[in-house]
Each structure stands twice: as structure tokens, then as C-alpha cells.
């Protein structure tokens, strides 16, 4: 069972919140932008419980469900670790916006589309966390961002594994995978499932959201061409998943038209 192999691998690489020296944070190195970025990350990571609920409702595969349980633990760990950093610098996180994230996600157009959405989610956050780690000067936050980034890379790899298995059993779901790829990479901005499905909630009005972090990233952290590099990385993952050349938006559209024909 692949989920068992993932569990054993995660056991060997697991870190704990206690591994990070929060008591060594130098307040003089904490900038307001860091606080905004971390509060946005807390909000993004708060969705793991809603996502687990959705996964377990949509999929009846025990192996994948076992992976989801392990994945959910790591995502919740990110949420609590970012909150611990905020506590350490004297910033409180209101409970209302976090609790508003609890509602489960609805199923995707197909189960494979749901998996494809999560591949994009994990690759996006992996990239952004890694870049933010290179940008921040406060060492504890840098270390936390790097740990979270590495976790997200592993999550993306496993979602690709389960999506590939699903496509082999249900090749009719290919068009939904290509459609998902196009929806999230056809514009010159970062689109993330949390922002797409959890925007507009009254509880998060006038509060940081995951989109706040992405806007900050593109406005002042990302280097020239970095959004293109992120989207190219996502397309490469989908090329490996589908065995198709989806390296540009026009090629994605062409493969989608062929799949629908």
C-alpha cells in the first residue's frame, strides 16, 4: 500500500514545532511585512481540515484516504507552526477567520480534477514558501518557511502519484485534468484553490487571506519572470502526469480540445 510507504517516509523526515527556536527570535528583525505574510499563511493552511473532509467524502479508496490522514497532519502542523511564530512576536490571530475555513470543499468536476487542483496547490505553495525563505531576514521564520516548502514538494509528488493511478483507471477524466490546469495557469497571476473557493466569506473581510500573501509575493518578493517559472513548473508536472505536451497555454487548449473530441 503506497500510503504505508508514505507514512514511513514521513516518519523518517518529520520535524516538530519544538525543533524551531522561537525563543531566539530577535524582535528587531521582525518586519510588518513578515507578520502579514505569516498571517496569510495561517489562513491558507487553515483549510487542511476542510480539504480532508472533502477528500474523504469524495474518495472511497483506503490507500488514498490513509495518505490524506498523513497529509492533513503535516498541513495542520504548518498552520500551528505559523501561529506559534506569531505568538512569539506578540501577534494574536483572531479565531473567526480561521473557523470560517472549516466548511468542506465540494467535489471537483471529477475525482481526478480534485487531485489535479491539489497538485497545483502544493506546487504553488512550495515555490512561494521557498522564495519567501530566501527573502526574510529573521532566521526562525526562514527555517520554518524552508521546512514547510519541503513538505509541500513531497505532498505534490504524492498527489501526482494518486492522480496518475486514477487516470489509468479512468482515462475519461483526462479532459477535467487539462481544464483544471488551464483554469489555474492561463492568467498572469497566482490562482490557488483556497482563494478560488473560499473568497468572499464575510468572516475574512478586512483580514489577510492566502491571496494577500500571493499579492505581496508578486509585488515585492518575486524576481523577474518568477511567475512564468512557477507556471512552467506546474505544466511540467502535468506533462509528466498525462504524457502530453502541455508546456504552453495554447498546447493545453489543443490537448483539451482533442480530449473532448
Q: How confident is the model at residue 50 (pLDDT cuts 50, 70, 90)?
A: very high
Mean pLDDT of the chain: 94
Give 43-93 as a DSSP string.
Answer: HHHTTHHHHHHHHHHH---HHHHHHHHHHHHHHHHHHHHHHHHHHHTT---
pLDDT (tens digit per residue) in 122-148: 999 999 999 999 999 999 999 999 999
Q: Domain map of the chain by residue range? A: 29-260
**Where in 99-188 does DSSP place strands (E)?**
none
pTM score, whole prediction: 0.94
The arithmetic mean of pLDDT across residues 203-232, rounded, is 93
pLDDT of residue 201: 82
Q: 29-260 belongs to which CATH class?
A: mainly alpha
pLDDT of residue 7: 85
d(CA 261, CA 256) in angstroms, rounded, equals: 9
SS3 245: coil
Name the percent of the chain lying above pLDDT 70. Answer: 100
**DSSP letter at 224?**
T
Model confidence at 185: pLDDT above 80: yes
Check: CB of residue 151 under 8 Å from CB of residue 78. yes
Model confidence at 176: pLDDT above 80: yes
Q: How confident is the model at residue 195 (pLDDT cuts 50, 70, 90)?
A: confident
pLDDT (tens digit per residue) in 15-49: 999 999 999 999 999 999 999 999 999 999 999 99
Q: Which of these, 7, 50, 17, lies nearest to 147 by C-alpha position? A: 17
pLDDT of residue 217: 95
The arithmetic mean of pLDDT across residues 73-77, rounded, is 95
Q: Which of these, 216, 214, 223, 34, lies nearest to 138 by C-alpha position? A: 34
Which residue do the cell numbers 494574536 mark? 92
The arithmetic mean of pLDDT across residues 209-213, rounded, is 93
Amino acid at each position: 500500500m503506497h500510503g504505508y510507504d508514505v507514512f514511513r517516509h514521513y516518519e523518517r523526515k518529520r520535524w516538530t514545532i519544538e525543533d524551531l527556536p522561537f525563543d531566539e527570535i530577535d524582535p528587531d528583525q521582525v518586519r510588518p511585512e513578515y507578520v502579514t505574510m505569516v498571517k496569510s499563511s495561517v489562513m491558507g493552511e487553515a483549510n487542511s481540515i476542510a480539504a480532508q473532509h472533502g477528500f474523504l467524502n469524495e474518495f472511497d479508496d483506503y490507500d488514498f484516504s490513509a495518505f490524506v490522514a498523513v497529509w492533513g497532519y503535516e498541513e495542520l502542523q504548518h498552520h500551528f507552526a505559523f501561529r506559534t511564530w506569531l505568538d512569539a512576536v506578540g501577534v494574536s490571530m483572531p479565531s473567526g477567520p480561521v473557523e470560517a475555513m472549516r466548511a468542506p470543499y465540494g467535489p471537483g468536476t471529477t475525482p481526478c480534477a480534485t487531485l489535479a487542483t491539489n497538485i497545483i496547490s502544493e506546487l504553488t505553495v512550495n515555490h512561494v514558501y521557498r522564495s519567501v525563505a530566501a527573502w526574510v531576514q529573521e532566521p526562525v521564520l526562514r527555517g520554518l518557511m524552508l521546512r514547510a516548502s519541503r513538505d509541500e514538494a513531497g505532498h505534490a509528488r504524492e498527489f501526482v502519484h494518486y492522480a496518475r493511478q486514477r487516470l489509468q483507471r479512468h482515462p475519461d477524466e483526462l479532459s477535467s485534468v487539462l481544464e483544471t490546469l488551464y483554469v489555474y495557469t492561463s492568467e498572469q497571476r497566482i490562482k490557488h484553490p483556497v482563494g478560488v473557493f473560499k473568497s468572499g466569506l464575510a468572516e475574512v473581510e478586512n483580514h489577510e487571506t492566502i491571496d494577500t500573501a500571493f499579492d505581496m509575493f508578486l509585488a515585492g518578493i518575486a524576481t523577474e519572470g518568477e511567475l512564468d517559472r512557477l507556471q512552467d513548473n506546474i505544466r511540467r508536472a502535468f506533462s509528466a502526469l498525462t504524457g502530453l505536451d502541455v508546456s504552453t497555454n495554447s498546447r493545453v487548449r489543443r490537448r483539451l480540445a482533442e480530449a473532448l473530441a
